[in-house]
Each structure stands twice: as C-alpha cells, then as structure tokens.
Amino acid sequence: MQTGTIHLVGAGPGDPDLLTLRAARLIENARLIVHDGLVDPAILALARPGARLISVAKQRSKHTLPQEDINALLVREAQAGRDVVRLKGGDPFVFGRGGEEMEAAKAYGVRVEVVPGISAANGAAAASGIALTHRDSASIVSFVAGQCKGLSDQDWAGLAGKGRTLVIYMGVKTAPQIAEKLMADGLAPSMPVAVIENACRPEMRVLRGPLAALPDLVEAEAVQSPALIIIGEVTARENAALEQIAAEVAA
C-alpha cells in the first residue's frame, strides 16, 4: 500500500480569513485532520462532511496524548495509506513541536509537507497595533516559552530592554516568575508590557501595564490561554504618540 503524506499545517492565530490558501484547501479536502486544542472551531468547520477529526489537545500538565503517541498516530495513519492534515495553531515550527513530528515521520520514511502559518506572535501583534520592530524603539525581537522545565535556570539576560522586544508564549500561568526573573536580570519595573488574549478573534483583549504589575494584571483580569505577553517599548508607542500629538497641539 502506498504511504500517505503528513501535512504539517499552520492554522494561524485563529481567524479563518488568515489561513493561507494552501492551508484552506488542505483542510477543505482532508479526510483525516489531527488538530490541536487551540485551533478555532470556525477553522475546523471548513472540513468536508464526513471528515475524521481527531483532537490531541494539550493543556498545562494535562495532555490528551503524549507527544510520542501523537507522533506514532501520525505515522500509523500515513503508513496505512491515508493523507493526514496535522493542524496546529500559529505556525508549526514556532513552539508547535512540528519539528519533532517531522523528524518522527522521516524516521519511518513518511513524506512530510510543511505549510507555514501566521505565527501567534505576528498575528497578535498586528491585531493589537503593536509593531514588533520599530525604527525608533526596537531592532531585535526574541521569542521564548514561558511554560517549560527549568524556567528559573534559563538565561534571558539581554533578551529584553532598550531597543528590544520580547514575546513570551505560554506565559500566563508563570507570569509572576517571568516578571521576577526579568527584573532580577536588570529590566526596569516600569518597562511597558502588553498581554494579548484571544488574538485575531472577536473576543480579543489587549491589556497593558508595567512589568512589575504583570502578575497582578493577569490575575485581576483573569487572563486565559491562548494569550501572549509582549515586553518592550513598542507596546507603549501608541500612547506615546498620542501624548506627543497632544503636547504639540497644546503648544
């Protein structure tokens, strides 16, 4: 039997209109879709009638399937001759563990196609009007995972500060440790921060404040995943620009 193909597809930040054409076509024609929990239901609704949808949703310390079992599922289905659309939020290769799934497939001789998607960072920043880079504020952008083993031992020195933007994925539950860590590394408590919840969706919220208040902001506003934390001067540029305009008008 001919082996099927595993398509590692990025579903983008949530809005179906932000899918690539290739991603939309694969979803619409797929007979088997293995999807993450953060894939918006509106995107799954694009699947053809009768398509088999398998959720491998992951939550903090609670996984429907361990990653090794997901790898095995994808390989097993492809070896049975079925094409598989492996649908992931954002981009498959940005904290999506797409690299691990690709390596597992190739180890068994299974063909893999990667379909990139708009990353959660790019989508969230654009939807909230935050330019991750700006000639006057930031020429360096770093992505880090805020929910991982050994967080306190990781070296984040230099990732945030003057002229830099730091984007933190999966940082809602560890916001207190993140704020403490960055301030211990020398980042000013007043450094502007934005928390973007449900980016590119009707219920999107953008919350702003200083780094020192990040834990209280997350708790007081009951922020839930999916959410990103962006740290840097770019998150306050809109307010700064309005203040400058107001000062010029007053003068």
The residues that are catalytic are: 36, 58
**What is the enclosing helix (H) or strand (E) of 33?**
strand 32-35
Confirm if 34 and 85 have CB atoms less than 8 A apart. Answer: yes
**What is the enclosing helix (H) or strand (E) of 177?**
helix 175-184
**What tokens does 28 get?**
């619409």
Confirm if 79 and 2 have CB atoms less than 8 A apart. Answer: no
Give residue for tokens 């009768």.
50
Exposure on the CB side of residue 156, measured as CA atoms within 13 A: 30
**What tokens does 83 get?**
């094409």
